[in-house]
Amino acid sequence: MATEDKKKKTKEQAYGAEQITVLEGLDPVRKRPGMYIGNTASAGLHHLIWEVVDNGIDEAMAGHADTIEVRLLPEGKVSVSDNGRGIPVDTHKVTKKSALETVMTTLHAGGKFGDGGYKVSGGLHGVGVSVVNALSVWMRSEIKRDGKLWVQEYKIGKPVSAVKAVGKATGTGTTQIFLPDPTIFTVTEFDWDIVVEHLRQQAYLTKGIKINIFDDRVATAAQSYKYYFEGGIASYIKHLNHNNEAKQEKVFYVNKEKDNINVEIAFQYTTDFREMMYAFANNIHNPEGGSHLVGFKAALTRVLNKYARKNNFLKEKDQNLTSDDVREGLTAIVSVKLPEPQFEGQTKAKLGNVEVRPIVEMIFADALDIFLEENPRDAKEILAKCLLAAAARAAARSARETVLRKGALDGLTLPGKLSDCSSRDPKESEIYIVEGDSAGGSAKQGRDRRFQAILPLRGKILNVERARLDKMLANNEIKSLIIALGTNIGEQFNLENLRYARVIIMTDADVDGAHIRTLLLTLFYRHFPELIRNGHIYVAQPPLFRVQQGKDIQYVFNEAELENIKKKYNIKDLDLLTAETENQSEENTQADQEEIEEVASANVKKLAKVNIQHYKGLGEMNPSQLWETTMDPQTRLMKVVTIQEAAKADETFEILMGAEVAPRKKFIQTRAKSVQNLDI
C-alpha cells in the first residue's frame, strides 16, 4: 500500500511546468481548427474564403474599396482580391517585422483592434487571414501600395522569405492566393453554388459594392457572376420574394445611424403564411438572432397594434395582435453595423450587445410609423393579413389542444402503429419513419427493439408548404408523427422533449419514395427546423442491388458502383445482350451470327455465376437483409440533413412545394439534362 502511495505521489509531483504544452504562433489553429472555422468539412473549407472576403468588405464598409474579385483556380487554389488600401508593409514597432507578415502569421493582429483601423468589421476579430494561412499548405500575399507590388509567400503559416517589392504597380489593393491543407480538411473541393450564394448575399448587404466571381478550374466550362445592388437589402427582399405574391406594393426600407450603430432594415409581406427573417451584424449572418432581432420584433408588434387600434382595425380594448400574428407572411432583413460586436459562440450565431436593442427599436418604430401613415393602402393590406393570421392561429390553437391534449405525450396514447423501442433514453434511441406496411413489417422484424422504433406511414403525407397548422393537425399521419416525436409543435415546441436523438427517414429508392422523403423534409424544415439545426434528422441509404458470387455477397448503393462490378466480372448488360441477338439481320453472314451467339452464351454463363438482385423497394428485402444493410449502426450508411444556406433552402422549398407552377416548371426544365437514371 505504501508503495502505491509513493508511486501516486511521484506521479503528482511530475506535473510541473514541463508538462504544460505551449503552442506557438499559429500552432493552436492547426491543433484545434474547429475552434476557429467551425469544422473541417465543407462549411469550414468555404469559411476560409469568407474570412478573406470579409477583409475586402471591411475595406468597402470603411469607404476604401468598391470591388472584390474571387477566383476558384485549378488544383484547389483560391484567389481573393480587393482594391482597398492594401495591407501595410512597413515595419511594425512591436514585432519588428513587416506589418504584412505580422498580420499573416500572428493571431489577434490586424486593423480591427484599437483606433485608426476599422470603424466596423466582419472578420474573426483579427484572426481571420492568419487562420487561413495556418490551414493552407501554401499561401501568397500580393500588396499594391506606394506604387510597388509587394509579395510574401508562406507554407503552413510560416513565411518562406521576407516581404519584398517585385515590381511597380498602379493603384492599391490586396490579393490573397491560398491552397487549403488536405491533411486538415475532409473536403477539399470548393462548391461553386455555395460560393455564389454566399457572395451574392454579401453584395446585397453592402450596397454599392461590386463582387465578381470566376470559376477558372475548367477552362472549357468557365463560368462567372458579377453582383452589384444599389438597393442593398431592399433588393435582397425582392429577390427572396420573387416566387411569392407580394401583399404590400412598396418594400419598407430604413437606413439610419445612432451612437455609432448603423441600422438597416427592409421588409415586405406576402400572401404566404410563413415568415422569413434574417439578422446580420457586420454582414455576419446570425441564425439565432440576438438583440437586434428582439428590438425589431418588439417595435413591429407595438407599432402595428397602435396603428390598428387608432384606425379601428381592432375594436375590442383587450384585443391585441401577437408577435406571431404580425410575423406571418413577413420577409424581413435586419442588418446592424457596430464597432464592437459581442457574439455568443465562435460561429457568431447570436448577437449579444444589449445596447443594440433600444437603438434598433427606436429607429425602426419611428420609420414604420411614417411608412404606415404615408402608405395607407399598404398599411391596410398589412393589417388585413395580420388579422387573418390571428383568426387562423386561434383555430390552429384549438385544433392543437384537441390533438395534443394533456397526457397525449406520456407514453399511454402513442400512435397504435408505432412500434416503440424499450429504451427510454432519448440519447440512444432512434425512430425510423418508413413508407408503407410492407417496409414497416420488415423493419419491425429486423430492428434492434432495444433502441430502434418504427413508424410506418400509409400513403403520402400532406404537403405542409400549402397548409396551415389546423389543417396539418387534421392529417392522421402528421398527427401520429408529432405525438411520436414528443416535441409538440408551433408555440409549444420544446426540443428537450424529443424522444429520439435520431429521426431517420427510410423510403424506397424510386420516384414515390423520393416524393415522400421530400414531403417529410418539407414538414421538418418548416415546422421542426430545430431538429435539423441540431443534427437530429437523417436519411437512410438502402442498397439498390445485391451481388452474389458463390458465398461472396456485396451490397451496391448506386449504378456507378454496379458498373464497376460488372467490369470486374466482365459482364455485359442483359438488355445489351438481348439487343445484340434481336438485331441479327439477314445481311449478317453465318459466321457473324455464330460469333454473336457465342458472345451471348458466354455472358449468360458468367451471369449464372454472379447473381445480381435489384431491390425496387424496402419491402423486397427480408428483415435480416434490411438490418444488415440499412439499420445496423456498425454497417449502415446515413446522410445527416443540414441547412447550408437558409435563404437558398427557403427558395428551393417554395419552388418545389409551393402553389406557383411556373417557377417549378422553370426549375425542372433548367435541370432536366443533369438528371441521371430517371425512374418513370
Residues with a known catalytic role: 435, 508, 510, 512
Instruction: Give the C-alpha separation, 487 to 262, whole Å.
Output: 39
Secondary structure of residue 642 in the 3-state scheme: coil
Q: Is residue 295 a contact partner of residue 358, using CB atoms and an 8 Å limit?
A: yes
Instruction: Give the C-alpha separation, 250 to 10, whole Å.
Output: 76
Q: Which residues contact 258 (CB under 8 A, 6 or more apart)?
A: 359, 362, 363
Retrieve residue 200's grid coordinates: 451574392
Instruction: Give the C-alpha separation, 353 to 350, whole Å.
Output: 10
- Sheet containing 276-281, strands listed edge to edge, beginning at the edge strand earlier in sequence: 252-258, 261-269, 330-337, 276-281, 284-285
Q: Is residue 232 a contact partner of residue 207, using CB atoms and an 8 Å limit?
A: yes
CA distances from 507 to 53, 477, 515, 540 (A): 41, 15, 9, 8
The type of residue at 587 is E
CA distances from 299 to 80, 305, 362, 593 (A): 40, 10, 8, 84
Instruction: Give the C-alpha separation, 319 to 309, whole Å.
Output: 9
Q: Is residue 456 a contact partner of residue 436, using CB atoms and an 8 Å limit?
A: yes
CA distances from 69 to 83, 245, 500 (A): 9, 34, 46
Q: Could you tell me where the DSSP H helices lie in 413-555? A: 436-446, 469-472, 476-485, 511-527, 529-533
CA distances from 669 to 194, 415, 515, 672, 674 (A): 21, 41, 18, 5, 10
The type of residue at 144 is K
Q: Backbone phi, then psi, for 455, in 5-degree steps?
A: -125, 105
Retrieve residue 417's grid coordinates: 402503429
Retrieve residue 501's grid coordinates: 436523438
Instruction: Give the C-alpha separation, 533 to 521, whole Å.
Output: 13
The type of residue at 161 is S
Retrieve residue 384's grid coordinates: 388585413
DSSP 99-124: HHHHHHHSTT-STTSSSSS-SS--SS
Retrieve residue 258's grid coordinates: 445612432
**SS in 3 state form for 605-634?**
HHHHHEEEEECCCHHHCCHHHHHHHHHCCC
Instruction: Give the C-alpha separation, 143 to 151, whole Å.
Output: 6
